[in-house]
Amino acid sequence: MSGGGGRRATPRGPAGLPALRAALVGAGALLQAGATAAEQPQVHYMLHCQGCHLADGSGASGAVPSLRDQIGRFVTVPGGREYLVRVPGSAQSSLSDAELAAVLTWMIRAFGPAEIAATLEPFSSEEVARHRNPPLAEVDSVRRELLGRIEAGPGAPPGAPESP
């Protein structure tokens, strides 16, 4: 009996857990401090999205696409705004339509590209409600198609909402 071995009480979680925990503590502190309306979307991002997308939007290579200098490009092509609402991480979150609209708007402003964020028409709760159901099932093919449109060049003017 040399001690040591059998008494480790701390469960070993996945490697990302400490970071996630730190993020949640940060979000909790913001909430306790009484997050202002402007901070609210960031708090929701921290609580509902950041676990996969990370604080800086960089995601996880091969598993979660980076949002950095990318998420805003979707709004420049037809179907892109709808895609951002319908992708399962968005559509199936527990956020209300208004909260999700604010988080998506915040994400584009936070992660860019800056020139698209600058002229972005904010998402509205009506727009989210219109597209949210049903969530996208065939994510990969729709995403590939949109990336192809983005690659092909400017379509709709940046940030312009689509007609219903």
Nearer Cβ to ligand HEC (8/48): 48
Residue nearest to ligand HEC (CB): 89
Give the residue with the Cβ less far from ligand HEC, 3 or 14.
14
The contact set with ligand HEC (CB under 6 A) reads 48-49, 51-53, 64-65, 67, 70-71, 84, 87-90, 93, 95, 103, 139, 143
CB nearer to ligand HEC: give 77 or 87.
87
Minimum distance between the CB of residue 70 and ligand HEC, rounded to whole angstroms? 6
10 Å CB burial of residue 117 (0-12, 13-18, 19+) is: buried
Rounded to a whole number of angstroms, the minimum distance from the CB of residue 72 to ligand HEC is 10
Residue 85, both tokens: 């609402």
Spell out the alpha helix ranges (H) of the chain: 17-32, 40-48, 50-53, 80-86, 88-91, 97-111, 114-118, 125-132, 139-152
DSSP secondary structure letter of residue 60: B
Taking the complex as a whole, how short is the minimal distance between the CB of residue 137 and ligand HEC, in angstroms? 10
Neighbouring C-alpha atoms within 13 Å toward the C-beta of 95: 28
**Min. distance of Cβ 126 from ligand HEC in angstroms?**
18
Biggest CA pair distance of the chain? 74
Looking at beta carbons only, is 6 or 123 nearer to ligand HEC?
A: 123
